[in-house]
Amino acid sequence: MGCGGELAGLISLFFSRHQGGQILRVSTALSCLLGLPLRVQKIRAGRSTPGLRPQHLSGLEMIRDLCDGQLEGAEIGSTEITFTPEKIKGGVHTADTKTAGSVCLLMQVSMPCVLFAACPSELRLKGGTNAEMAPQIDYTAMVFKPIVEKFGFTFNCDIKMRGYYPKGGGEVIVRMSPVKQLSPINLTDRGCVTKIYGRAFVAGVLPFKVAKDMAAAAVRCIRKEIRDLYVNIQPVQEPKDQAFGNGNGIIIIAETSTGCLFAGSSLGKRGVNADKVGIEAAEMLLANLRHGGAVDEYLQDQLIIFMALASGISRIKTGPVTLHTQTAIHFAEQLAKAKFTVKKSEDEEDASKDAYIIECQGIGMTNPNL
């Protein structure tokens, strides 16, 4: 799949109502890394508001700036873009969705690229830190960061300001140095759950009682299934100078004896009582613990691009393979020529569970600048 019409046709075929943004993120990141010109058509064509939204546009512009590339057709509502990448450089880059669009999704598209830059990078990402339909910044800091660093790099994630729907206004600064090559990972040994902890937060005008109610409801829900562990969920009032607007939510993490991390999270909405928000997060965590995998449903797709770029064979054990993961694998195979296999887990203890092993022979990408 080189440049031009063949690629465009293929990508447009795979645009579904639910994945427009993700296809853009995976394909433009790989295009930037591999130096492949890219045309993407029929972007979010089936949506009520088709084409690029502000958060997609800011992500595309950021990747263009990271590599001094050329980007055509990039405007709000556009259903077709053409991207021609150049050499990835480091330095300071800013992306601002100017909405509650997720800063975590901006991080997803840019992070693999700056790992192969010529010098250290500082990414100033502005928008929503705790947004619907995207990982919360707490998830990125508490689950994604420690796991993805197993590929052999580190990054610093500084939450300057939290921002919520509908205004956004959050800011996160990510600092990272480039690497020569990524190491493969093996996340197949789940271990047993050793601790459960989290934070239930309120910001703005919402009363602290809401945070306490979310935490208490979540603990009660978890207790029904896991009785022998202390569940430590801290209620938090976000400081006025570190949160823009009003919001509430909760994230709960389960940590295992082998260092695996699982999460459940939920955001408050107008008219939804605090107990319901807490219970939703708890049930999501419990569902992620039942399937026997070593990563949760939101981490699996985020690891695919790093597995594809790493040298050697990476293996992760997951629960049911999500549509986002299938999409990420498809583009990693087509664009990067990485080799993936997905098989039902054959471990005896997984016989009654819906667990899978995703294995990847990575391409062993090396940083030409180091």
Across the range 263-273, mean pLDDT stands at: 96
What pLDDT was estimated at residue 7?
A: 54
For tokens 């480091």, name the residue.
Answer: 90
For position 42, what pLDDT does the model report? 84
Taking only the tens place, the pLDDT of each residue in 290-324 is 999 999 999 999 999 999 999 999 999 999 999 99
pLDDT at 205: 96
The closest alpha carbon to 300, from 220, 177, 188, belongs to 188
d(CA 369, CA 180) in angstroms, rounded, equals 8
Residue from 18, 56, 324, 330 carrying the catalytic annotation: 324
**Overall average pLDDT of the 165-179 stretch:** 97
CA angle 304, 307, 309 (to 5 degrees): 110
Q: Evaluate if pTM is beyond 0.85.
A: yes
| CATH 3.30.360.20 placement within the chain | 193-290
SS3 89: coil
367 residue type, one letter: N
Q: Give residue 22's pLDDT.
A: 87
Q: pLDDT per residue over 106-124, tens digit each?
A: 999 999 999 999 999 999 9
DSSP H helical segments within the chain, as ranges?
5-13, 20-34, 54-66, 103-114, 137-139, 145-148, 208-223, 274-290, 300-309, 323-336
The strand pair at 121-127 and 91-96 is best described as: parallel
pLDDT at residue 207 tops 50? yes
Q: Name the pLDDT band for 15 (thresholds 50, 70, 90).
A: low
Instruction: For residue 3, name the pLDDT band (cuts at 50, 70, 90).
Output: very low
Lowest-confidence segment of 177-191, 205-219, 350-364 by average pLDDT:
350-364
Rounded-to-integer distance, Cα 160 and Cα 126, Å: 10
> Does position 129 have pLDDT exceeding 90, yes or no?
yes
146-176 burial string, b = 16+ CB within 10 Å, else e? ebbebbbbebebebebbbbbeebbbbbbbeb
324 has catalytic annotation: yes
Give the residue ranges of the annotated binding site: 108, 298-302
Instruction: Tell me how far apart the alpha carbons of residues 312 and 362 are, in angstroms, rounded to a whole number.
Output: 6
**Domain at 11-187+295-363: CATH code:** 3.65.10.20
Q: Which fold has domain 193-290?
A: Dihydrodipicolinate Reductase; domain 2 (3.30.360)
Q: What is the pLDDT of residues 32-83, one digit of tens each?
A: 999 999 998 888 888 888 899 998 999 999 999 999 999 999 999 999 999 9
**What's the confidence (pLDDT) of residue 16?**
53
- Averaged pLDDT of the chain: 93
For residue 12, what pLDDT band results from cuts at 50, 70 and 90? very low
Instruction: Indicate whether 10 pLDDT > 70.
Output: no
Q: Where in the chain is the domain with CATH 3.65.10.20?
A: 11-187+295-363
Binding residues for ATP: 108, 298-302
